Amino acid sequence: MKRIFLTTSLFLLAFIIYGQGSKVNTAYANYTHAAQDLANNEIDKAVESLNEASVNIEAAILHEKTMGKSKTWRYRGNIYSMISGIETMKESHPDAIQKAMDSYSKANELDTKGTYSKEITQALGSLHDTEFINGNDNFGSKNYAIAIEHYKNGITIFERMGLVDSVAYYNAALAADNGDLIDDAIELYLGSARISYQAEYCYNRVIVHLNKQEKYEEALVVAKEARAVYPENKELIISQLNVYLAADMFVEAELDMESAAAEKPEDPTMWFALGVVKDNLGKSEEAEVAYKTSLEKDPDYFNSSMNLAILYFSRASSMIEAANEIPAKEFDKYNAAIEIAKAELEKAIPYFEKAYELRPNNNILMDLKEAYGQLGDTENYQRVKDIIESGQ
């Protein structure tokens, strides 16, 4: 009787071991059924099979006889990879992608002989490609937050493979930027820049965003990092200048732009930027020289024409205000002061006209009309007035 009991116990033990081992095979069978169901476009049946597969494979990874086998984890990766691609299963399995990635990594770790390394790598590559395509699809549909999630998954998958997905970094940054997810955009642009993918553009966007957020110290740290690598990039120079100006760091801006203009003496933008800094420091004569130098390099540089016109116009306005403070009895002194102011105002005219030629704008016309009016030039005053009223 005891012998019969012992035999029965051994049979039960064998059954239990086999039962847990069969969970892996059952899960795989569920998975293959689901694959066939999907091929036949029978989504509901596939969902049912995959739900069964997930239950079976989860039991298998917890049992000591199957938890240490690479096959168990490969099958788990396959199951959750398939689940992640079915829209109706995303709510019940929100972490399917993460489970698939973790499973493939574990399978690779347990595959000490590398027997299935190629298969695992291909599976991860396929999962990455699916996530990247999903990112692009959601980007195109303007579902930017969802697109970022897919791109980030692609980045992580590549990292597990010892690779860097530079395009996913960049696309995720663009998605965040387009979706006004600015903190995400900053992080992702920096990630892209630091792996040297579209780095100059990415650094510039980070500086611009940090400047808008009034995080001037952070912006200048990034600008310094960027310009150490790309010292000749004009956009980076100007973005750093804009941070200095926004932070009222005019002395630092002056030193930086004097250096930039010396390094790029033929670049009108550098001289224009230097003029802006000098203007803000109240160094009007030096600003005038810088703007004129800019126009020597490019006579059609709108910003320098406009700023030079405004510089002369502002000077003349200040002179007229000062003249109006002269006592009425000092008529000759008043007239002399007004003539000097008019001479300064006349300097503004050609630069206003050039600016309007380059970029027709009603605000420029209004300034021109006022200037011609103060100069007593009735013919040009009427000409400009007619253009304004005609709406041209």
Question: Whole-model pTM above 0.85?
Answer: no
198 DSSP 8-state letter? S
Distance, CA of 75 to CA of 50 (rounded, Å): 12
Does residue 346 lie within any of the structural domains? yes
Task: Note down pLDDT in tens along the chain; length 392 residues.
Answer: 344 334 434 333 333 444 445 789 999 999 999 999 999 999 999 999 999 999 999 999 998 899 999 999 999 999 999 999 898 998 999 999 999 999 999 999 999 999 999 999 999 999 999 999 999 999 999 999 999 999 999 999 999 899 999 999 999 999 999 999 999 999 999 999 999 999 999 999 999 999 999 999 999 999 999 999 998 899 999 999 999 999 999 999 999 999 999 989 999 999 999 999 999 999 999 999 999 999 999 999 999 999 999 999 999 999 999 999 888 888 889 999 999 999 999 999 999 999 999 999 999 999 999 999 999 999 999 999 999 988 76
In residues, how long is the chain?
A: 392
For residue 371, tell me if it sits in a domain. Answer: yes
Cα gap 145→290, rounded to integer Å: 45
- Which pLDDT does position 28 carry in this prediction? 93
Domain count, the chain: 1
Spell out the residues 6+ positions from residue 233 whose beta carbon is closer than 8 angstroms to its own: 200, 204, 226, 227
Residue 368 lies in a domain: yes
Q: Has residue 355 been placed in a domain? A: yes
Say if residues 116 and 103 touch (Cβ distance below 8 Å): no
Residue 34 lies in a domain: no
Which residue do the tokens 């595959």 mark?
111
CA pair distance 70, 119, nearest whole angstrom? 12
pLDDT for residue 251: 93
What pLDDT sits at residue 3? Answer: 42
- 377 domain-assigned: yes
At residue 390, the pLDDT reads: 87
Name the CA dihedral angle for 353, 357, 363, 368, rounded to a multiple of 10 degrees: 20
Which range of residues forms the domain containing residue 383?
300-392
Main-chain dihedrals φ then ψ at residue 146, nearest 5 degrees = -70, -40
Answer yes or no: is 269 within a domain.
no
Its sign, for the CA torsion 244, 245, 249, 253, is positive
Could you tell me the end-to-end alpha-carbon distance of the chain, in angstroms, rounded to an integer?
112
Which residues are within 8 A (CB) of 192 and not within 5 positions of it... i.e. 6 or more apart?
166, 169, 170, 173, 198, 199, 202
With respect to residue 342, please indicate whether it lies within any of the assigned structural domains: yes
Smallest CA-to-CA distance from 299 within 239, 348, 358 is with 358
Q: According to the model, what pLDDT value does residue 392 have?
A: 65
